[in-house]
Amino acid sequence: MHNGGVPEEIEREERLHVSATAACRHLAAWWELNARDLPWRFGRTTPWGVLVSEVMSQQTQMSRVVPYWESWMAVWPDAAALAEASTAEVITAWRRLGYPRRALRLQECARVVAEEYANELPHTYEELVALPGVGDYTASAVLSFAFGKRVAVIDTNIRRVLSRVFLGMESRGGTASRTERELAWCVLPEEMPERDASGSSVIWNQAVMELGATVCTAKAPQCGDCPLRGECAFLAAGLPGLGERRTRPRQR
């Protein structure tokens, strides 16, 4: 307890909220001007199309994903269509995206969606994460990007940005820590669309991820171009341990 009896934890959260509010405003303006025009963004595809894009994007460069996603969706626009394809067709269409098991798991997922959910992707985290090949990140991304729900999306890029900006350090390797998950939820904007659409949690998730992929990169962050440089604790501290792999044992 200090400062007239205000618990340190409450004071820390208040400071974090002020910083996150400013970051949200700056990041939304940056997103408006710099968001990559990917074909599954801005409401131009179905929830199934969003899920396909997320599966394809795992460990694969976005420039490679776009043409494959467009070809894939032209042939199999929904889960029912993919469910009826042959294994050979699916593997051939996946081709150079790598990790062909992802394609087979995606088809397994398509069969479940087609048969158990009437060809409509379910809307809850519990149902999504139970689908073949769908983990925490993909389920959260679909809920946010496809259904517009307020949920913290946590991938490598988002972890890096949030850890640097708000904690002043590099994120750890492996899975997200409890601290990182709590931080992601703490800074996630509340939904107030009647006041300011830029405060949307969907825009926040997409913009933080985009920033990590294009500006706040792992080894060579472009801090001079970053809209969050004024709020960034990592930059203020002199980029301590930039690019170092701060690993911890993976949970088995």
All structural domains of the chain, each given as residue ranges with its CATH number in brackets, are 23-36+152-236 (1.10.1670.10), 47-145 (1.10.340.30)
The pLDDT assigned to 232 comes to 97
Phi and psi of 234, rounded to 5°?
-65, -45
Phi and psi of 81, rounded to 5°?
-65, -45
**pLDDT tens, residue by residue, 40-98:** 999 999 999 999 999 999 989 999 999 999 999 999 999 999 999 999 999 999 998 99
> HSE-up of 135 (CA within 13 Å, CB side)?
8
CA distance 28 to 31: 5
CA distance 113 to 50: 14
Q: Which residues are known to be catalytic?
A: 54
The pLDDT assigned to 1 comes to 44
Output the six-digit token pair for 108: 């397994």
Collect the ranges in the chain with pLDDT lower than 70: 1-6, 10, 192-199, 245-252
The pLDDT assigned to 193 comes to 52
The pLDDT assigned to 249 comes to 34
Output the six-digit token pair for 189: 């904007």
Q: pTM for this structure?
A: 0.88
The pLDDT assigned to 14 comes to 74
Give how far Cα 203 sits from Cα of 56, 175, 194, Å.
Answer: 21, 24, 15
